[in-house]
Amino acid sequence: MKHKLSFFSIFMIVGTMMLCCNNCSKDDSGSSNTGKSYLRVSFSEKMVGNGSGSFEVFISSNAEWTAEPRSKWLSVDRSKGKGDLAVRISFEANDTEKRTGIVRFNADGVNPVEVAVTQSALTFTNPITIGGNIATMPDPYIVRDGDYYYTCKASGNGIAISRSTRLTMINSTTKKWSLPYEGPTKPWNIADLWAPELFHIGDRWYVYYAAGRRGQDGIEGYATQRSGTLRSKTDDPLGEWEDMGMLYTGDNYQPGIKPTIENTEYAIDLTTFELKGQRYAVWSGNEKTNSIQQIRIAKMSNPYTISSSLVEISTPTQSWETMDGRQINEGPAVLINEAKGKLFIVYSCNPSWTKNYRLAWLMLDMNSGDPMNPGDWQKSSNYVFWRCDNTKDPVSGVNGLGHCTFTKSPDGTEDWIVYHAMRYSDGGWGQRYPFVEKFTWNADGTPDFGTGAGWGESLLLPSGETL
């Protein structure tokens, strides 16, 4: 076991180094080619369990540096060095509920940098479990409502839901609705149920999902994927549901139009939000003549009816969006910073089955911006969340991440991101597992997602959550 943990730590450091290098390319302050002294660490915070153990931090510097533990229960395997080196920080067992210590790194001519180590029994590890077991869950969706977290997931040809009092533990789900079978009416939604999302709107619950007709009428690909809506029959998401039909995702809306595969376009990963009394649908789609997946938006007259033509607000044109030669923007998720008056659509780019899967965002000024005006949306200058440990079976790691949603801690004081990560760098669609992680905000009101958590890494429980 010790050997495996050490091996994983090496991969974690390599991945962090890659992230650090990418981040440095955005800002050359303190870079080695300026002649100025610099001192950087691969991360500034680390959560560990109450048992004794160790981890490595990577130091990058062009000067001589020293490492100084500021707490007696912390120690380092090297107290000084020069250049780029790994330092192993060890910690003793803890018999208190929680404690935090500091290891400080100093170098002449630069400000000290610190690594804060928090040790606690109130921790969890990713991936979070489903029914007590580690299991795959692509496109995870968890929403907090009252005292509960509701999980909504695809389950074969249907949609399954469960609830839990804990964000970090998903209870076993129960299938609540299934796709129809092929019959004389030829339903549009008989195969490939993807990415359901659950919303509590008014006194009902709604599920938005994608499905299509692959396997029928000679259809081999996913071009018939469209988005549809379910509505709960009562105010209980664990009760019965009814199918409200396909949503109109075309570019020629007419009042009273009935959505069909012919008058709509490819539409997956649909989500919704309301701004100034107007509800909107946001999804990933492409024209029938190409496979360039864009983020699209339209107005809604109610939670199950789109009432305008689509508008394209993001097309993958940046190098970090097209790393595999595919042009994909998908998995939009809405994140709001009320204090700063900013609304974000956080989306995934690059193919979801590759290690290059990552997150970026679109930002709208909630006070002056028009969601239907593409010019009012500002795209992030680079991707904002990614990790790749480059691990292969049997070594578990985080190798590309994305398709997220957002929620709060049980006491409402913390912001958390829910996403999936691939276990192996060549894992593909079958190796996507649910992760959750706390995030913070930058001074300018943009989200700071930090570095993706490692496979099996200890993290502090959400505020207000108990074991």
Which residues are catalytic, by number? Answer: 139, 330
Contact call for residues 122 and 460 (beta carbons, < 8 A)? yes
Q: Round to whole Å and give the CA distance between 428 and 194.
A: 16
3-state helix, strand, coil in the chain (%, to 5): 10, 45, 45
Please name the amino acid found at residue 333: A
Contacts of 330 (CB under 8 A, 6+ apart): 268, 269, 284, 293, 295, 347, 348, 349, 352, 403
Cβ-proximal residues to 99 (8 Å cutoff; 6+ apart), any chain: 71, 73, 118, 119, 120
Nearest to 439 by CA among 405, 411, 396, 465: 405
Helix (H) / strand (E) containing 455: none
Tokens of 204: 């009902």
Q: Which of 216, 209, 206, 138 is nearest to 182 (CA)?
A: 216
Task: Tell me the C-alpha distance between 328 and 331, whole Å.
Answer: 10
What beta strand segments (E) does 108-236 contain? 113-120, 123-125, 129-130, 141-145, 148-155, 158-164, 169-170, 174-178, 191-201, 204-212, 226-232
Given a contact cutoff of 8 angstroms between Cβ atoms, the answer to whether 349 and 358 are in contact is: yes
Beta strands in 239-293, from DSSP E residues, in sequence order: 241-246, 266-275, 278-286
What 3-state class would DSSP assign to 324? Answer: coil
Distance CA 136, CA 142 (A): 15
Burial class, 410, CB count within 10 angstroms (exposed 0-12 / middle 13-18 / buried 19+): buried
